[in-house]
Amino acid sequence: MKGRKDDKKKEPRVDRRIRVPKVLVIDSDGSRLGEIPTYQALRMAQEQGLNLVEVSPNSDPPVCRILDYGKFKYEQKQEAKRRRKNQVVVELKEVKFRPKVDKHDFETKVRHATRFLSEGDKVKFTIMFRGRELAHPEVGDALLNRVLAAFAGKVLVDQEARREGRNLTAVVQAKPGAFPKPVKPVEPEGKDGHPPEEPDLDEDDLEDGMEDSADLEDVDDEDEDGDEEDDTPVAASMDG
């Protein structure tokens, strides 16, 4: 209920909700009609089949426009949608490494970081130390330098290397145009221009599919130390 009241407060006063004695009127064609008694401005709007809308309530006197309020609200909603659509939301993705990472895992994690950067996200590289590894911080320093070298000339360093507890971290973002944006796959169309319908499956087909899925669950994609890169965002809407 509170949200609805707030929305009403944000809406401009229209027609008989405008209680001031006089207003500065802008006609439907954009011409300024000057200061007019409110009742007279309201009558002019009604004669045109339009509304009197208060667009600047804090002016003295308030500024009103003669317009189609329904159309005005629709256009405002469309403009708000366009702004939201064009708004770039930058997330912070984290890619974790162990000091003893092998070549294959290193290359895999670099590919994941490349994908995140190409999607416009920032990437936090984390070198995780355990036990006796803490006695050799130079190994982590060398690994982080190796990671950053893999993106030399393509990224800007948002956060220089620093210690966070047992970890060593750095944050980067892509330079403009350094990474091509991923292309979304195009869905195949049927003869009528719509996506093809999915085939009907009987019970035997569904049982076979469930068995195949169960087999796939046994496949493990973790690193040798049991750590995976974290594909989930650790922070959202971070402005550069």
172 with 98, same domain: the answer is yes
Question: What is the residue range of 166's domain?
Answer: 87-184+225-240
50 with 130, same domain: the answer is no
133 with 98, same domain: the answer is yes
Strand spans (E) along 183-239: 230-235
**Neighbouring C-beta atoms of residue 18, cutoff 10 Å:** 19
205 residue type, one letter: D
- Say how many domains are in the chain: 2
The answer to whether position 82 is within a domain reads: no
Q: Is the dihedral of CA 160, 161, 164, 167 positive or negative?
A: positive
44 with 91, same domain: the answer is no
- DSSP string covering 51-67: EEEEEETTSSSPEEEEE
The answer to whether position 208 is within a domain reads: no
55 with 141, same domain: the answer is no
CATH of the domain at 48: 3.10.20.80
Per residue in 3-46, pLDDT (tens digit) is 455 555 578 999 999 999 999 999 999 999 999 999 999 999 99
Residue 114: DSSP 8-state: H
- Residue 83 tokens, joined: 């702004």
The answer to whether position 205 is within a domain reads: no
Per residue in 86-137, pLDDT (tens digit) is 777 778 999 999 999 999 999 999 999 999 999 989 999 999 999 999 999 9
